[in-house]
Amino acid sequence: MSKKPLTGRARADRQPHSLAAWRGLGGGAALALALKRHSPEAVIAMVEAAGLRGRGGAGFPTANKWRFMRAGADKAGPGARYLCVNGDETEPGSFKDRLLMEALPHQLIEGATIAAYATGATEVIILVRDEYRAAAAALTRAITEAEQAGWLGRDILGSGFDLMMRVHTSAGRYIVGEETALIAALEGERPVPRHRPPYPAVSGLWGRPTTVNNVETLSAVPSIIENGADWYRGLSRSDEGGTKLYGVSGCVARPQLIEAPMGTTGRELIEICGGIRNGRALFAFQPGGGATAFLETAELDVPLDFTHTKKAGSSLGTGALIVLDDRACPVAAIGRHMRFYARESCGLCTPCRDGLPWVAKLLDTLEAGRGAKADLDLLHSHVQLSAPSGRSYCDLNTGALTPLKSGLERFGDIFTAHLQGSCPVGRA
């Protein structure tokens, strides 16, 4: 049994397996076990015992989400029920789902089929952003192969379970990662988050019960069913089960994607990447992508799981470490984030539509050495008034302002030094 259930069966050249090759590697065994030996409730119980939490950023317990769907489907009565797979992946620094979709499409399809069985879904729709064209092509081919083999369609493997599956390529943008905005995009509408309740499990895609799961989350499911919950938990270094795909980018010698036990530390991941590039020292890192708070050298040995990272003052997010060395200016780095989030806002509410561009402009002025104390005061005001959760229609604004809030708290002296017209650290 591989210690790397997510990537252990990937080809070295990242080319997708044919269904025949996937079967030769043991593919399909988990699907057969789920459909022939386990009830949907038993599958959910196994996923719960395994400690699988959503890998899309929020870390919500996967089994809980699936139970909400079953309850919603019971209330909704007969009709379509949907499992939507989030393959948009637009978080700055994140590039894990791309590998899974391109190199291991049958693994994702198998996991999604098991999840559909557990939740009572009748159709799976995999949303892939348009830039991931190789991923969309690999998934489309794999779905066709699975249909021809009887792994999708009517009476899958003689179990009586029917399921349709298709790929939907989307224009994509960051906001599509929010589950209700993703549902709106699938419906052909402007991708704007929707008010909750009702929650998608009750009224989602076209008003029907819907569950949205991340690519990495579903890709972990086959190994849990095949090898058991205890085995999956045993892969982890923490109470949160399994392995995690950590993406490390920025000022490291060899940026890369690493499958490692949940709870691996930032120090270990950076060392695997050859350390800080050019022999320089670490300044800070974001452990979960562009919308997470900074950690510093003192936090290098914090186990990177959802619980410990939160206690350290940040969040695991997508597990995408963005590393800054001692020549990388945090003001410039945060400014890049702000420009991205300002551009990616859906524009529905004032804090995002008007506030984020204003913050980006203030940071650009400050980083260019033309800032005034009033500009710095305005940045603090934005964080105090706009960043708290609930101040905007969805959490994009809160996430976008998280690195700014963290930067002002940890690197306030560097922000102040920019008022003198120069950066004491250097340029990123």
What are the pLDDT digits (tens) for 207-244?
999 999 999 999 999 999 999 999 999 999 998 999 99
Q: Are residues 115 and 153 in the same domain?
A: yes
Q: What is the pLDDT of residues 171-189, one digit of tens each?
A: 878 999 999 999 999 999 9
CA separation, residue 306 to residues 50, 56, 61, 69 (Å): 15, 12, 11, 23
In Å, how far are 68, 126, 171, 356 from 168, measured between CA atoms? 24, 6, 10, 30
Question: pLDDT tens digits, residue range 129-158?
Answer: 999 999 999 999 999 999 999 999 999 999
Question: In whole angstroms, what is the distance from residue 408 CA to residue 35 CA?
Answer: 52
On whether residue 425 sits in a domain, the answer given is no
**Is 4 domain-assigned?**
no
Residues 217 and 257 reside in one and the same domain: no
**CA separation for the pair 202, 58 (Å, rounded):** 20
Instruction: Give the pLDDT mean for 395-401.
Output: 92
Q: How far apart are CA 191 and CA 91, in angstroms?
A: 16
Domain annotation covers residue 412: yes
Domain count, the chain: 3
Q: Do the Cβ atoms of 245 and 216 come closer than 8 Å?
A: yes
User: Amino acid identity, residue 105?
Assistant: P
Asked if residue 75 has pLDDT above 90, the reply is: no
Cα–Cα distance for residue pair 37/315, rounded to 1 Å: 38
Q: What is the CATH number of the domain that holds 304?
A: 3.10.20.600
Is the same domain home to 377 and 257?
no
| CA 185 – CA 175 distance, rounded (Å) | 10
Q: Reply yes or no on whether the pLDDT at 97 is more than 60.
A: yes
- What is the per-residue pLDDT for 57? 84
Is 65 within a domain? yes
Q: Count CA atoms closer than 13 A to 343's CA, side-chain side.
A: 10
Return the pLDDT at 414.
94
Instruction: Estimate the crossing angle of helix 96-103 against helix 105-119, to 10 degrees.
Output: 100
Shared-domain flag, residues 108 and 207: yes
- pLDDT greater than 90 at residue 408: yes
In a domain, 159, yes or no: yes
Q: Domain holding 169: CATH number?
A: 3.40.50.11540
**What pLDDT was estimated at residue 325?**
96
End position of a domain, from candidates 234, 258, 287? 234
The per-residue pLDDT for 73 is 75
360 and 222 together in one domain: no
Residue 24 and residue 156 in one domain: yes
Q: Residue 279, SS3? A: helix
In this structure, are 221 and 249 located in the same domain?
no
Closest CA to 220 of 46, 64, 93, 15: 46
Q: What is the mean pLDDT of residues 298-314?
A: 97
User: What average pLDDT score do residues 58-76 get?
Assistant: 89
In a domain, 220, yes or no: yes
pLDDT band at 426 (very low <50, low <70, confident <90, very high): low
Please check the confidence at residue 266 and state whether its pLDDT lies above 60.
yes
Same domain, 285 and 385: no
User: Domain boundary at 274, 294, 325, which?
Assistant: 325
Express as a percent the part of the chain with pLDDT over 70.
99
Going by pLDDT thresholds of 50, 70 and 90, the confidence category of residue 428 is very low
pLDDT given for residue 246 in this prediction: 98
The SS3 call for residue 324 is strand
Residue 99 has pLDDT above 80, yes or no: yes
Q: Would you put residue 207 in left (φ > 0), alpha (ψ -120 to 50) or beta? A: left
Q: Which two tokens stand for residue 346?
A: 């859906």
Kindly state whether residues 91 and 157 are assigned to the same domain. yes
Clarify whether residues 213 and 272 are in a common domain.
no
Query: Looking at the structure, do residues 78 and 177 belong to the same domain, yes or no?
Result: yes
Structural domain containing residue 341: 330-420
Predicted confidence (pLDDT) per residue in 361-387, tens digit: 999 999 988 999 999 999 999 999 988
User: What local confidence, expressed as pLDDT, does residue 369 receive?
Assistant: 87
Tell whether 409 is covered by a domain.
yes
Residue-wise pLDDT tens digits, 28-63: 999 999 999 999 999 999 999 999 999 988 889 999
Cβ-based neighbours of 350, under 8 Å, separated by 6 or more: none
Consecutive H or E run containing 402: helix 396-410
pLDDT of residue 1: 63
The chain-wide mean pLDDT, for the chain, equals 94
Helical ranges in 347-386 per DSSP H: 350, 356-367, 373-386
**DSSP string across 214-238:** EHHHHHHHHHHHHH-HHHHHHT-SS
Tell me if 9 is assigned to some domain. no
Lowest mean pLDDT among 159-163, 171-175, 294-298, 410-414: 171-175
